[in-house]
Amino acid sequence: MGSLVVQNRVINKDIMDILYDVQRECRNGKLSNFRKTSSGISVQCPHHAEGRERHNSCYINVDDENVEYGICHCFTCGFTASFPKFVGECFDRDEEYGENWLIANYASEFIRPELNLPKIELNKNSVKYIDESVLDKFESYHPYMTQRKISDDVIKKFDLKYDPETQSIVFPVRDIYGRLKFLTRRSVVSKKFLIDKNADKSDVYGLYEIVKDNIREVIVTESQINCLTSWSYGYPAIALLGAGTTKEQMNVLNNTSVRHWILCYDGDDAGDKGASKFIKLAKPGVFIDMIIMDRGKDLNDLSKEEFEISLHNAKRII
C-alpha cells in the first residue's frame, strides 16, 4: 500500500477512513456514496453533476503501484486530480484547502523532499555547461517577443534575450538542475532556427521549471515559441525542440513526477508522427490527452480563448 505525502508531510490515515471523515464534514451532499472495489475506490465525481451523480464514475487509486497513490480520475467528465485536490473539490474549495485540511487532521512527521530525477554521472566526459555570463552580452528585449504572444513575466522567467549580431531571439536551454547547457536562436527576420552543437537527443526545453515546481500537468509542444506561448496563457509546458520525439527525451520525461501530459503538436504529418511516438514510449500509469490542431496550425496561431477551447476539447488517449 502506498502513502500520502502532502507538502512533505506524511498523512497517517487510510484513504477510506479519510473519505468517511470528509463525508461527515461535508454539508453540500457530495461524497454520499463510495466503496472499495477491485480496481480502487469508486466514488462520486465531485466535479460534475454537482457531486451527486447516480452512478459512481470516479476512481481513486490505492492499489496500482504504477500509478500515483491517491490520484483520482473520472471516466465521465475527465476530471483528474491529486487526492488533496479531490478533497478540496468535495468541500467546494481548491487544492490548497484540501492540502491544509489533510495536514491539520492527519499529518505527522516532516520528510525531506526528493526530486525524482535521472542520475547524472559526473566524469571527464560529462557535458560542459555554459557560464551564465554569456547571457550578459545580449539585449533583454525585442518587440518580436511580444509579437509572438510571449508575456513579460515569461520573458523574464526563461531569460529570453535578443542577439543583434544574428538578429535573433536567444533561448537559454537548461538541464533539469537549472544549469545552462546551450543556446538556441530564432531569427526575427526569417524562419531560420539555429541550435548549438552541444545539444543532444535527450534535451527538453522548459523541463527545469516543471521539475523545480513539481508540476504534474504539462502541455507538450514542439517549438520553444509554442512552449512559451502556453506559459504566457497560464499553462506550464515543455518543448521537444522539434517534432521528432526521441527515446532519450522520453527516458528523461518518464523519470519525472508528471502524471498528465497534454500533447499539442503541430497540425502536420511530422506532428502526428511525433505524438504517436510520445504515446508509444510514455511510461504506464500516466494520463495523456491530445489537442487536435487544424492542419498547418500550431499553438502560437491560437488566441488564449481559442487555445482554452481546444484544451477543453482535447481527446483522451490514455
Please determine, looking at this structure, whether the domain spanning 4-110 carries the CATH number 1.25.40: no
- Nearest C-alpha neighbor of 161 from the set 174, 171, 149, 151: 171
Q: In the prediction, which pLDDT does 308 show?
A: 96
Q: Are 220 and 240 in contact (CB under 8 A)?
A: yes
- CATH fold, domain 132-316, is Dna Topoisomerase Vi A Subunit; Chain: A, domain 2 (3.40.1360)
For residue 237, what is its C-alpha cell?
509546458
The three-point CA angle 246-247-252 to 5° equals 100
- Nearest C-alpha neighbor of 7 from the set 80, 109, 130: 109
The mean of the pLDDT values for the chain is 89
What pLDDT, in 10s, does the model give residues 94-136?
999 999 999 989 987 565 444 454 444 444 445 678 889 999 9
Q: In the prediction, which pLDDT does 54 show?
A: 85
What pLDDT, in 10s, does the model give residues 232-270?
999 999 999 988 899 999 999 998 889 999 999 999 999
Q: In the prediction, which pLDDT does 129 show?
A: 81
Place of cell 508509444: 280
Q: In the prediction, which pLDDT does 8 show?
A: 77
The domains of the chain are located at: 4-110, 132-316
Same fold, 4-110 and 132-316: no
| 48 CB-near residues (< 8 Å, 6+ apart) | 74, 76, 77, 79
Q: Looking at residues 174-197, what average pLDDT do you find?
A: 88
State the alpha helices, DSSP H only, in the chain.
15-25, 83-90, 95-106, 143-147, 152-157, 207-212, 224-232, 247-253, 269-281, 304-312
